[in-house]
Amino acid sequence: MINRLLIAVIIGLLTIGLIPAAYLQTHSEAATNTLADSFGRQVKVSTDIERIACLYAFTGHVVAMLGRGDDIVAVSNGLQRDVLLTTLYPAIRKALVPYFQGAVNIEELAKAKPDIVFVSAETGRNSAETAKLDACGLTWLVIDFHSMEQQQQAIALIGQAIGASEKAAVYNSYYRSCISRAAQGTAPIPPEIRARVYHATNEPTRTSPRQSLPEDWIRAAGLINVASQESPRLFDGRHHVSIEQILLWNPDVILANEPGVAASIQESPAWGAIAAVRNGCVHQLPIGISRWGHPGSLETPLAILWTVKTVYPERFMAVDIHSEIGFFYKTFFNYDLSEEIIEQILSGRGMRLTKSRK
């Protein structure tokens, strides 16, 4: 029944011209490379990619970093909330939004006529959603990662797909250098005296458990992620945990991704007994192109350096985070930041729109 409905949708799209009649034939005849996506699917990808759909926000950040931001024609809704990204690439603000709350609007995506579609693991696991993409004859790749190594592999894959492998390799080299610099400074710290950190992602009580990108970079920064020591059964499906459990953990440091979360924690009486709150060690992670250190953050290398500089300042006196930020955005986005913008990135203020303001 579902397949018949999808066929009817495709016929309707062809009839009203949202998918040109020659679209599927043109794409099937183009020169291709065969790439393995994050699910191991072998996908033939055209060597002439012009129009790019990024239905997973991370992929939009990467495509922009690899110099193809102006070629993004469709996005997930959250991507348009990133202020610096849309300032540098106004096309993203104007792109169609055929993906919302886990569902692909195939008619809207067809209007964008993408040569390639990047999707998240959530979409890739949903057979009803992937059937829509297949029925339209679209080329799509699943991008997924749960560690720094896998994230670098994902960036390399996106680079291969859009003809920007060299730029992806330069970025990954910088990424590895940041990991190495952090390791050199934190290696002498005995495990028993390393700072214990709680990482709040989107909401105060939503965190990063084991086998996640934040768990990996937090460890690389010489910290102990309190949530990664626990069984996955402790968390719900969206990685929420109770305030009672956070009180039991009593972390030395709290890092927050979402704007306003750090202030909310500091001001809440329910969190007041926690060591990090009592000692003024609740920090808003910076926000640039993306939210640094978030489970889907392009700025993971910067998050590592900022964190070691913040938590272990005496060991990283040589790290000038302002210069590092300027270097990063000039090198990978060809953008010269003013000191005012650097301060805004570090504070996170005004760098990501709320859902109501998008």
Does one domain contain both 353 and 225? yes
Question: pLDDT digits over 152-174, tens only?
Answer: 999 999 999 999 999 999 999 99
Contact 342, 323 (CB under 8 A): no
127 occurs within a structural domain: yes
Contact call for residues 148 and 214 (beta carbons, < 8 A): no
Q: Is residue 126 in a domain?
A: yes
Assign residue 215 the CATH number of its domain. Answer: 3.40.50.1980
Q: What is the pLDDT of residue 25?
A: 45
Residues 148 and 291 grouped into a single domain = no
Asked if residue 243 belongs to a domain, the reply is yes
Q: Say whether both 76 and 197 belong to one domain.
A: no
The predicted pLDDT at position 209 comes to 80
For the chain, the three-class secondary structure string (H helix, E strand, C coil) is CHHHHHHHHHHHHHHHCCCCCCHHHHHHHCCEEEEECCCCCEEEEECCCCCEEECCHHHHHHHHHHHHHHHEEEEEHHHHHEHHHHHHCHHHHHCEEEEECCEECHHHHHHHCCCEEEECHHHHCCHHHHHHHHHCCCCEEECCCCCHHHHHHHHHHHHHHCCCHHHHHHHHHHHHHHHHHHHHHHCCCCHHHCCEEEEECCCCCEECCCCCHHHHHHHHCCCEEHHHHCCHHHCCCCCECCHHHHHHHCCCEEEECCCCHHHHHHHCHHHCCCHHHHCCCEEECCECCCECCCCCCCCHHHHHHHHHHHHCHHHCCCCCHHHHHHHHHHHHHCCCCCHHHHHHHHHCCCCECCHHHC
pLDDT of residue 36: 98
Q: What are phi and psi of 291, to 5 degrees?
A: -80, 115
The answer to whether residues 156 and 253 belong to one domain is no
For residue 173, tell me if it sits in a domain.
no
CA 56, CA 310: separation in Å to the nearest integer?
30
Query: Cβ contacts of residue 50 below 8 Å, gap of 6+?
Result: 71, 115
In the chain, the number of structural domains is 2
79 in a structural domain: yes
Tokens coding 114:
């993408």
Q: Scanning the structure block, which residue is given the tokens 């799509």?
A: 140
Q: Are residues 18 and 87 in the same domain?
A: yes
| Tokens read off for 232 | 């996955």
Boundary residue ending a domain (163, 179, 206): 163
State whether 220 and 340 are in the same domain.
yes
Is residue 172 a part of any domain in this protein?
no
**Residues of the chain under the 50 pLDDT cut:** 1-2, 7, 11, 14-16, 20-28
93 and 227 share a domain?
Answer: no
Instruction: Judge if 106 and 248 occupy the same domain.
Output: no
Q: Token pair for residue 70?
A: 């102006």
Give how far Cα 104 sits from Cα of 13, 110, 129, 177, Å: 15, 10, 6, 38
Regarding whether 134 and 237 lie in a shared domain, the answer is: no
Query: Do 101 and 238 belong together in one domain?
Result: no
Q: Which domain holds residue 26?
A: 2-163
The model's pLDDT over 198-244, given as tens digits with 9 standing for 90+, comes to 999 989 999 988 889 999 999 999 999 999 877 666 666 678 899 99
Tell me, what's the pLDDT at 30?
64
The verdict on 74 and 158 lying in the same domain is yes
State whether 237 and 136 are in the same domain.
Answer: no
Is 179 a member of any domain?
Answer: no
Is 224 domain-assigned? Answer: yes
Residue 183 neighbours by CB distance under 10 Å: 14
Dihedral over Cα of 144, 176, 158, 86: its sign:
positive
